[in-house]
Amino acid sequence: MPSSTVIQTIIWLGAMFLMLYFIVFLPEKKRKKNYQSLLDSMKINDEVMTKGGIMGKIVTIKDDYIIIQTGPENARIKLHKNGIGTITKKAEE
């Protein structure tokens, strides 16, 4: 009898880990993939909003960082690419 309860416990633990994988890890992987495609699709003159809420237009794109231009004085801000939250308006071709 004790061996059957051990097997049931192992099956329940396996089922819990499987549910955790489908509920937590798969959606996070999908979100990271979508965010990376958003970063890869950025172009000069796209309007973006940073994770901090600053809105501006992309002026320069480098490997690790971008420079956005914002405000009435056209201030330029250098940001790491991971600081971008969303692209609010794509540049017209």
Q: Write the pLDDT tens digit of every residue in 26-56.
A: 999 999 999 999 999 999 999 999 999 999 9
pLDDT at 2: 62
Q: Three-class SS of residue 7?
A: helix
pLDDT at 92: 75
pLDDT at 93: 62
Pick the CATH number of 44-93 from 1.10.540, 2.60.40, 2.30.30, 1.10.287: 2.30.30
Spatial CB neighbours of 82, under 8 Å, sequence gap ≥ 6: 39
* Full-model pTM: 0.76
Say if residues 49 and 83 touch (Cβ distance below 8 Å). Answer: no
Copy the structure tokens of residue 39. Answer: 């970063």
Task: Indicate whether 11 pLDDT > 90.
Answer: yes
Please state, in angstroms and as integers, the Cα–Cα distance from residue 64 to each residue in 23, 58, 89, following that order.
Answer: 31, 14, 21
Boundaries of every domain in the chain: 1-40, 44-93
pLDDT at 53: 94
Copy the structure tokens of residue 13. Answer: 């633990």
